[in-house]
Structure 1
């Protein structure tokens, strides 16, 4: 298979794909998982349907629940913000590939600061550990000379469900704070202390932070833009304070093994390089390597092939970063490994139409 794809050829091939009658118009595609990625999948679904594709029923239940559903074959694909280890994928008979890139952003509900709040990784960890409990604490004030920090309690908001957002957030804190690593470590779900406001899903994090004066939470960047949340600047691995942005997420990707080796097993947290957002994350799709229902798997694959070809601009609309072409080619390699139960290469068939 070729390692890069002409967008012009891709467009013609995709048009031909969608010009064919869907395998089962009345029976759409079923997916579940990442709530962080839901804005991208919803927009793709709307446009795919307009283009003549099947309907997508996507349930944003969180990465952990999405992976549980695909392991139990309750959906056509599971969506997760955490790449499963290869040993688990082999055990569960799954293939997994990235779709888009975003980042986790600390957000606050503070009025009249007079500028962007800066936090180091160590100070952020100490806030979530409950060691720094007021906004005008000396540790925060030292990083923010000139800001009007209120003398009010910090209200920490965390995820109660298993989520990729929590995984990447805690991965970052584990890299910058030995105390966090020792107490919580890297996990998709934590047993938060009673003072943490624990809520389910990205939408509830956004809602709770907006409704709670003095709150701080962590959430996918798409919700920051969508819900007009107030983001925090973080110190990058290169030592510079950055604002989260699609450009800073892309900088993390091009400094990663995704880009250099086509290896998705490593995350995008604390990537080196100027301007790389420290809590960048990919979001992924898992599908059975051997499809029990060839028609259903074909419909799901056709959707993602379309999304790779036509979804870049749509992803940008909801503040996600499309995969660079070099990375996308590696993703096609994983997707092409899906076969039918009789060995028919349905993944390769879906991809091969792009390179004829």
Structure 2
């Protein structure tokens, strides 16, 4: 019989859940490929998970980092096993397209610059100045608004080259969400969207890799992207002033602090954004990233293979999440995610796999 102490261990429960759905591959000979598409910010996680998953199961994961908007379109059409987005979709959209969204991990958006003699986490900006730069109102690096925040720095007399996303992006959505919270003019003019009608003269690139390369290769540039790309491309991150008035650089601890000051940790709900949370150690532009599945799949084998990958990654991927500068989900949020997974059905209304409780005893011996 099942040891009740084991049931109190969240990881054991997940393992039993995985077994009960028949989602652990028996051997490499039966391995089948997995497809996914969407968020470029989350691509480092999926790449790491895919490498480990292939080693463990023999199944390859083909993840296409086309951006959150394109990923949502693919999963709406059930043209891929899972979609990935950095925006929790509106409930009306989930209902209209018969989808459910599960959180995967937490990260942060980092403004990055390319300026002579400016090191990472040296330049200071606040939300108001950052928003005005991205509205095209502040256009030189030695502008009085920037020098006032950096009195000990000698800033160059260079034009600001603003680098932005050209494609629909969850990173853009969360960045805009933050700017709207710190500047009412931004909120009224641009709102919170995955695609922004940027001012003329901005340099637009596709994907997080495109933005990273655009800033790296453009003197005087500023852009925004996921924290995981900063070290990979050798970029200079910006210090930001948070909701408590504290200047700090982006960090795993700052993302974790934002998470701890949210309803994600308090209740297990994960629908709200994580920007501009209170707390002295909070990074102000924190965001979650999500995986999306159809509630009723017309391609049950495709969906089942994707579920195998995601659930296996939840069980085994905590270390890989942290190695890629993301924050793992709280156990309460993971539990909410697994509860949602049990609702996925095939087109005949049958759950994907056996019921959970019917096989717990047989696998717990």
What TM-score do you get using the length of structure 2 for normalisation?
0.90
Task: Give yes or no for the alignment of 1:181 onto 2:190.
Answer: no
User: Where in structure 2 are the equivalents of 1:23-62 lying within 5 Å?
Assistant: 25=31, 27-62=32-67
Residue of 153, 157, 160 corresponding to 1:154: 160
Moved more, 16-25 or 77-86: 16-25
Instruction: Give 3-state SS (helix, strand or coil) of 1:189's partner.
Output: coil
Whether 2:274 is the aligned partner of 1:268: answer yes
Rounded to whole Å, the distance in 2 between the matches of 1:211 and 1:309 is 39
2:6 is aligned with 1:7: no
Taking the aligned partners of 2:236 and 2:172, their CA distance within structure 1 comes to 19
Picking from 95, 109, 130, the partner of 1:90 is 95
Pair 1:78-2:83 in alignment:
yes
Instruction: Show the counterpart of 1:228.
Output: 234
Root mean square deviation of aligned Cα: 2.5
Greater mean alpha carbon deviation, residues 54-63 or residues 256-265: 256-265
Matched, 1:298 2:317: no
- Given the alignment, which residue of 101, 109, 115 partners 2:114? 109
On the 8 A contact 1:96/1:287 being kept in 2, the answer is: yes
In the alignment, structure 1 segments of 5+ residues that lack a partner are: none
Work out the number of aligned pairs and report it.
354
Q: How far, CA to CA, are the matches of 2:267 and 2:152 in structure 1?
A: 44
| Residue 6 (structure 1) shift | 3.6
| Deviation for aligned residue 1:181 | 1.3
SS of 1:67's equivalent?
helix
2:171 pairs with 1:168: no
> Matched residue of 2:36: which SS?
strand
- Pairwise CA distance, 1:45: 0.4
- Given that 2:135 and 2:198 are in contact with CA atoms closer than 8 Å, whether structure 1 keeps it comes out as no
Match of 1:143 in 2: 149
Is residue 267–residue 332 contact of structure 2 (8 Å, CA) maintained in 1?
no
Q: What CA distance in whole angstroms lies between the structure 2 residues aligned with 1:118 and 1:183? A: 25
User: CA offsets per residue over residues 5-24 of structure 1, 9 Å max, x none?
Assistant: 44367568879954514795
**Structure 1 segments of 4+ aligned residues over 3 angstroms from their partners:** 2-19, 21-24, 347-356
Indicate if the aligned counterparts of 2:118 and 2:236 stay in contact, CA closer than 8 A. no
Residues 158 and 196 in structure 1, CA contact (< 8 A), matched pair in contact too: yes
Give how far 1:338 is off: 0.9
